[in-house]
Amino acid sequence: MGVWMFGYGSLIWKIDFPTIRRVTGYVSGYHRTMEWADEVHRGVPGQQSRTAAIFRSEDPTERVWGVAYEISQDYWDRVLEEKVGYRERGGYNTDDVEFHQFDANATTVKDKIIVTLFLGDKSSPNYKPGTIDELAHHIVRAIGASGTNLEYLYQTAESVRMILPPGETDKHLFDLEAACKALEMKEKQKYTLKTETVHLDEKYENRREMLLKIFKTVDKNMDRQMGLPEFQNLAINKLNLNESMESIKEKFNAIDVDKNGKLSTREFIEYFLAELQEEEKEFKDEYAKFGSHMTN
């Protein structure tokens, strides 16, 4: 048997390492909240995100549902142990606990599965407790190197929903998801894009916010993806870019790193941040000609 690793947040839906098998289920005596501050993956200094952490519960029957991954001992020793140590750096304790399988689609593992939990420490400065509404206000606005905080929350909530059996829920996670969707809709109604001037703030995080607002103006169905027609509409009708449809399509394909025919929020923002950083003067001069600005 290899090493078993427990995914309770983004590791439920996004892994970048080889596994022997994947089993859904739960650990008992713990609870999950979205109260862990991050300023690298889904946030930046001054605009921290709120991501998942698990803590010991006073109720020994409380469950955290997630995914257990079996990883070869060799790969764990050579690669993953150090990588996980970096990823889960700072503010964590660990518990080795039994993982209870509940996966109708997987072959039952005969041996007991013991997983190592990385537990949040409530005395850590990364622990930022708050009400559902307070957490939602952080999550709606935060974005970092790995993408938006909203994407993290929505993907995690949907992934947990998919593995829960009837009668089980995660009230904190689903209440927060609903609050963020309501707040996102409310804030979206405040954003208007006018074809007068694009204001490019010199501060890095404000550039991200500006690009996120631009993205939201054309993301009509709020799926955090932009297709070619939406991108063409943005380029021609909003930014008034004097480029051919073919040229706009080439730019779209250049931004579409995943080559799935859609621009994610992350792809859109990272592309134009790179443009700003590498050719800042040219970028500002180009958009100053057309002039669009944000109003709240």
Distance CA 32, CA 118 (A): 12
205: β partners: none
Distance CA 153, CA 174 (A): 9
Question: Exposed e or buried b for every residue in 63-85, given b needs 16+ CB within 10 A?
Answer: bbbbbbbbbeeebbeeebeeebe
Strand 63-71 relative to strand 3-7, pairing? antiparallel
Tell me, letter by letter, the H, E, C secondary structure of 228-284. HHHHHHHHHHHCCCCCCHHHHHHHHHHHCCCCCCCEEHHHHHHHHHHHHHHCHHHHH
Catalytic residue, candidates 81, 82, 88, 280 = 88
**Rounded to the nearest 5 degrees, what angle is found at the Cα of 222, between the Cα atoms of 31 and 146?**
55
Termini Cα distance of the chain: 56
Distance CA 170, CA 34 (A): 12
53: β partners: 33
Cβ neighbours of residue 83 closer than 8 Å, sequence gap 6 or more: 17
Active-site annotation holds for 88: yes
Distance CA 158, CA 160 (A): 5
Looking at the annotation, which residues are catalytic? 88
